[in-house]
A and B are shown apart, each in its own frame.
Chain A
Amino acid sequence: MAVIKYYGAIAEETKCSEEQMAVSDLKISDCMALLNKKYNLNAFEVSIALNQNLVEIDSTIKLNDSDELALLPPFAGG
């Protein structure tokens, strides 16, 4: 199981700040498609990080069980 972390308005949409996800052989792009379907995240601008390193949203890197994928929207407030 990989950990998916949510920040800002995205965490409000998913109603959790992180969750476990079965990812065996799942590409990052496919994982994002699943999350979009589950939470309707298309309306959000988001950057994503794999194990604290920014990656492209359509990355074909495959996720491993110990991985952490973070979904980061830009914040506006100040």
Chain B
Amino acid sequence: MPQVGKTGQQKLKESKILVVGAGGLGCAILPYLTASGIENIGIIDGDTIEETNLQRQILYTEKTISQQKVVVAKQQLEALNSNVKIEIYKCYLLGKNALEIFKNYDIIVDATDSIQTRYLINDACIITNKPFVYGSVYRFEGQISVFNYKNGPTYRCLFKNDKANTTNCETVGVLGTTVGLIGMLQANEVIKMILQIGEVLSGQLLVYNALNNTQNCINFNKTETNIIDEAFFTSTYKSHKIEDISFNKTILEKATFIDVRELHETPKIELHNSMQIPLSVLKISVKDLDKNKPYAVFCQSGKRSLEAIKILKEYQFSNVKNISGGALSIQKSIENEEHIY
């Protein structure tokens, strides 16, 4: 192709691309980047493969269920192009690792399923001065854009409220082909940027509807009022101020309670919207929880719950509170009140 040529192929070969997330979007983006001749690809994801992933996460098979996504993705991609160097990070993107990882790449591709992580990617891209290729899906619709491209508008210029409460794929359901289409459009933006051809979706949000094959482009400008610097980044993503609240009926209606004590501990607290996840297994259970939902955490007296909240905040949970006094104070409140909770 005249638009690529030998110089273009060389540019592809030398560029370094990080894909954040090896789920539905990642599985669509990664094979095309690998096949294009990009030889340095990073993939970050702490998740393992589940059967329910297979309808859209096409790098995986029934035989790879329960294996780490990044490990299987690396094997598949290396089978596709043995020249490609795939660096894998078996963890989630967090405030404490984002800047260090981003520094090694030229372009950051968002293939996550969490709005909170998108703000983290956005802000880390601003600090490290990298373009951010955004893609996201809701049922049959998808959004694509390129943020922070040559100092252009960012995710915060498009969606200002970083406390937004929305649900992810597993909760709303998406069609595999919709995720595939959006991922491929993202891969296309990456390749155009590397080759410096065509027009990059900077300052534009492409909204695609796979049910009726319509697409709209929305224009937006750089309007950021916040200064995103290392101080902002540290206070937003690295410091974990913990909010203590007392147990009461209102909070019981608003938040899901997590009991982080071990299963044998007493008194047993049975609330209509509580679950028990011992602190010892919290990290592996994080993926079953919705980062955008409100949670109230308790243990026996209040020490382990603080530890649990630190973990949840590291994983970008946006609304987690500590029940001061733990199970003992909850039991006291229940006994003092005539109400049945």
Contact = CB atoms under 8 A, between A and B. Distances in A.
Interface of A: 5, 7-9, 17, 43, 45, 47, 49, 52-54, 70, 72-78
A45 B164 contact: yes
Given A75-B143, A77-B174, A54 B221 contact: yes
11 contacts: A45-B166, A47-B158, A74-B143, A74-B159, A75-B136, A76-B169, A76-B292, A77-B24, A77-B138, A77-B179, A78-B110
Most buried by B among A5, A52, A74: A74
A40 to B, nearest CB: 15
Contacts of A54: 158, 218-221
Given A54-B158, A77-B137, A70 B216 contact: yes
Nearest to B158: A47
Most buried by A among B111, B167, B205: B205
B23 A7 contact: no
Most buried by B among A5, A45, A53, A77: A77
Contact of B111 (A5, A8, A76, A78): A78
A72 B205 contact: yes
Nearest to A45: B164
A47 B159 CA distance: 6
A72 B205 CA distance: 10
A77 B141 CA distance: 10
A77 B217 CA distance: 20
Chain A interface mostly helix, strand, loop or mixed? mixed
A49 B204 CA distance: 11
**How large, as a class, is the contact surface on chain B?**
35 or more
B100 to A, nearest CB: 23
B36 interface: no
B159 to A, nearest CB: 5
A43 B182 CA distance: 26
Most buried by A among B114, B138, B166, B292: B138
Given A7-B141, A77-B113, A77-B169, A70 B174 contact: no
Given A74-B118, A75-B137, A77-B174, 8 more contacts: A54-B220, A70-B218, A72-B207, A74-B143, A75-B166, A76-B169, A76-B292, A78-B25
Contact of A77 (B136, B207, B216): B136
B165 interface: yes
B115 interface: yes
Interface string B84-127: 00000000000000000000000000111111001000000000
Nearest to A56: B223
A72 to B, nearest CB: 7
Given A45-B166, A54-B158, A76 B219 contact: no
A43 B136 CA distance: 20
A69 B21 CA distance: 33
Interface string B141-167: 111000000000000001111001111
A52 B215 CA distance: 12
Contacts of B172: 9, 76-77
Nearest to A43: B165
Contacts of B42: none
A76 B159 contact: no
A49 B219 CA distance: 8
A76 B167 contact: yes
B216 A52 contact: yes
Nearest to A8: B138
Nearest to B161: A45
Contacts of B326: none
